[in-house]
Amino acid sequence: MASPTRIVRAAAIQIAPDFERPDGTLERVCSAIDEAAAKGAQLAVFPETFVPYYPYFSFVLPPVLQGAPHLRLAERAVVVPGPVTQAVAERARARNMVVVLGVNERDHGSLYNTQLVFDADGTLALKRRKITPTYHERMVWGMGDGAGLKVVDTAVGRVGALACWEHYNPLARYALMAQHEEIHCAQFPGSLVGPIFAEQMEVTIRHHALESGCFVVNATGWLSDEQIRSVTPDANLQKALRGGCHTAIVSPEGKHLAPPLTEGEGMVVADLDMALIAKRKRMMDSVGHYARPELLSLAINDRPAQTTVPMHAAFPTPTVPRSPDHDHHDDPAGQPAADDRTPVLRVAAG
């Protein structure tokens, strides 16, 4: 079960968005990729919906006051593919780096919490949407689907990703485990809820590393005091926009590979020794020798969600048996005669 020696240097980036300039956060992303590359990183992970920014307003404002900030977020949201994805792809390719970026994706009239995985050659390897927005987030984002519960092969290995409280959905995590993810990229908003959020986050990512037998690279965002005041002038509500930061890198043995970052901006950089995956799974492989599929298994609907289905796909026309002596009279348009349609209609109706 020995694995060849392979080391991947990863960077988990804790950073503040730019609330003021529409392209400001994208510029910060590109600069952080350059900085991570200067440190030798081959993988960079950014916080949840970092571009243009996480909708912090939805946590502290009542619905009746959310209209203007929600529309502003929609105006600055990311179309995939589009100028933002092109800029990040070009920077990933220039730095030969895998980049995992959270964005607010705009798809016509709806917004989604979307995770993008760019391979080191700039290819968009994965676009997935958070399957269930959490609590206040349901005022902002639509729901994702199972089509994005995928692990993708990249230059640094097999990469999977989940956002925030998706890590509390054990079946979503198991869907990625079953695809043998090697590096799990987790994203949280940061500057939210308070210190207890950071404590819960640490438990969550360390447990996933142990259970999946993979590395976890987790990135959370950060807000300055000035940014917090811009979200709400209420001093009591401002308390809800502090704490909750825990940017960290964890090994398959559940150990921190570098001190986590809980305050301010910066990045956590660590070397991932991929041989540790085999070391962990030798004893506990939750989708292999430690699984009991004849007792417990997971069914996944991995089809993209669709609001319309062509009728020919929803109700395929069955083949109607005909006797060799049957006289077929088709009209010039290729439709069967009226008598021949009757059994078809009965089948379609159930």
pLDDT band at 1 (very low <50, low <70, confident <90, very high): very low
Which residues, listed in sequence order, are joined to residue 99 by a DSSP beta bridge? 44, 118
Class of domain 7-283: alpha beta
Rounded to 5 degrees, φ, ψ at 297 are -145, 165
Instruction: Give the model's pLDDT for residue 312.
Output: 80
Instruction: Give the model's pLDDT for residue 324.
Output: 54
Residue ranges of the domains in the chain? 7-283
Give CA–CA dist 80/128, Å, rounded: 11
In DSSP notation, 128-144 reads: EE-SS--GGGGGT----
Average pLDDT over residues 195-216: 97
In 10 A of CB 158, how many CB atoms? 17
pLDDT band at 350 (very low <50, low <70, confident <90, very high): very low
Non-local (6+) Cβ contacts of 203 within 8 A are none
**pTM exceeding the 0.85 threshold for the entire prediction:** yes
In DSSP notation, 249-314 reads: EE-TTS-BSS--B-SSSEEEEEEEETHHHHHHHHH--TTTTT--TTT-------SPP-S---HHHH
Instruction: Give the model's pLDDT for residue 331.
Output: 47
> Residues with catalytic annotation?
48, 130, 164
Average pLDDT over residues 280-286: 96
Q: For residue 270, how far is the Cα from the chain centroid?
A: 22
In DSSP notation, 15-27 reads: ----SS-TTHHHH
Tens of pLDDT along 167-177?
A: 999 999 999 99
Q: For residue 30, how far is the Cα from the chain centroid?
A: 20
Tens of pLDDT along 290-341?
A: 999 999 999 999 999 988 988 886 677 666 666 555 554 444 444 444 444 4
* Spatial contact of 201 and 245, defined as CB atoms under 8 Å apart: no
Tens of pLDDT along 45-102?
A: 999 999 999 999 999 999 999 999 999 999 999 999 999 999 999 999 999 999 999 9
Mean pLDDT of the chain: 91
